[in-house]
Amino acid sequence: MFSFIPNTPLIGGGLPHRVLRNLLQRYEPIMYLQPGQVPTVVISSPIIAQEIFKTHDRAFANRPQFNFLVQRWSSPLVEFDKMRSAFGKICKERNEFITLLKEVLVFAGGFDVADLFPSWKLLHNISGVKSRLVKAHQKIDAIMENIINEPIENKAAGKKGNGEFGDEDSVDVFLRVKENAELQFPITNEHTKAVISDIFIAGTQTSSTTIIWALSELTMNPNVMAKAQSEVRQVFKGKKNYGEEDIEKLTYLKLVIKETLRPHTPVPLIGPRECREKTNIDGHTIPYKARVLVNAWALARDLKS
């Protein structure tokens, strides 16, 4: 019998990351909850979070080959200095693709009670979130399939790529890595679509949210804004072009961004990650198949770190 009544009300009285941090005042920085049928472990300590993300990262990685894949692909992407756009300058279905990604982000950031009871199929049908996600995924998959096939067809026809800053965009680079068989396992279009989707989804809402909060904080703190503006003017004074070395000189602006991320964490709850094997963390046993959430919002307010 799962502990539905004593656990579920704990997360129903406000924003989850705030409620979980309040529980930290009464309990340990590693808490075990079971809302519904899903055993959940919540981490609210920087030291314990380091064990999850670094020391025992393999035990909490949902996709065992994903890190290796990104690591191998990131090298040619970084070295290829002319590659700046993901799909090139021309993308016929760009607007629809962006709309669908925003739709997925809304679903991903929302709460669906059916997630707490995965075996209750009727609940999934009632909520409708799963079916809408499946439809959005199918549309995104079809668009990305066309995007991947386009450079292949262009190459067969002897046409050049349509990268905005060069003849190659990131899809071309991925296809080149695949064609040259640089990895230890075969690469399919599904791998390419998964990596590119992660690049878009992970870098869209987080960046825009941080910018909005940074501008809001600067507006409320005119002295800080004046100092940041002065630094920018001094670093870029008289320059028509600038590079990474100039960005590195914006030390005060970097501090502004870091301080913005502290109270306004764009992703307050990191996860969920699924434990792939029974693991000992800080003297506690994390059971197999347990979901692990890291409260990044609480980490930023940890007085001990």
Check whether the bond before 118 is cis (ω within 30° of 0): no
Q: Which is it for the CA torsion 73, 136, 264, 60, positive or negative?
A: negative
Range of the domain at 248: 204-261
Q: What digits encode the pLDDT tens for the residues 201-230?
A: 666 677 888 999 999 999 999 999 999 999
Asked if residue 253 is part of any domain, the answer here is yes
Q: Which of 28-32, 175-179, 236-240, 291-295 is the least confident region?
A: 175-179
1-16 burial code (b ≥16 CB/10 A, e <16): eeeeeebbeebeeeeb
Whether residue 84 has pLDDT greater than 50? no
Question: Do the domain assignments include residue 10?
Answer: no
Output b/e per residue, 197-223; b: 16+ Cβ within 10 A.
beebbeeebeeebbeebbeebbeeeee
Higher pLDDT, 122 or 112: 122
Torsion-angle region of residue 176: left (phi > 0), alpha (psi -120 to 50) or beta? Answer: alpha
Q: What percent of the chain has pLDDT over 90?
A: 13
Arithmetic mean of pLDDT, 8-14: 55
Amino acid making up residue 78: V
Residue 220, in any domain of the structure: yes
* Residue 44 near residue 25, CB atoms below 8 Å: no
Residue 61 is encoded by which pair of tokens? 């990685």
41 located within any domain: no
Residue 244 lies inside a defined structural domain of this protein: yes
CA dihedral 101, 105, 107, 110 (to 10 degrees): -170
Q: Which among 297, 303, 304, 292 is positioned nearest to 39, based on CA atoms?
A: 292
Confidence class of residue 12 from pLDDT cuts 50, 70 and 90? low
Q: Is the residue at 226 inside a domain?
A: yes
Q: How many domains does the chain have?
A: 1
| 74, pLDDT greater than 60 | no
Top-confidence range, 106-115, 122-131, 253-262, 265-274 = 253-262
Q: Looking at the domain assignment, is residue 26 inside a domain?
A: no
Q: Which of 81-90, 111-120, 148-157 has the highest mean pLDDT?
A: 148-157
Any idea what the Cα angle at residue 62 is, between residues 293 and 138, rounded to 5°? 105
Is residue 228, in this structure, part of any structural domain at all?
yes
pLDDT tens by residue, 239-283: 888 888 888 999 999 999 999 998 898 888 887 888 888 888 888
For the chain, give the secondary structure using H, E and C: CCCHHHHHHHHCCCCHHHHHHHHHCCCCCEEEECCCCCCEEEECCHHHHHHHHHHCHHHHCCCCCHHHHHHHHHHHHHHCCCCCCCCCCCCCCHHHHHHHHHHHHHHHHCCCHHHHCCCCHHHHHHHCHHHHHHHHHHHHHHHHHHHHHHHHHHHHCCCCCCCCCCCCCHHHHHHHHHHCCCCCCCCCHHHHHHHHHHHHHHHHHHHHHHHHHHHHHHHHCHHHHHHHHHHHHHHHCCCCCCCHHHHCCCHHHHHHHHHHHCCCCCCCEEEEEECCCCEEECCEEECCCCEEEEEHHHHCCCCCC
What does the pLDDT look like over 32-47, one tens digit per residue? 887 767 788 888 888 8
Which of the pair, 176 or 67, is modelled with greater confidence?
A: 176
Q: Which two tokens stand for residue 40?
A: 């959940």
Asked if 299 contacts 46 with a C-beta cutoff of 8 angstroms, the reply is yes
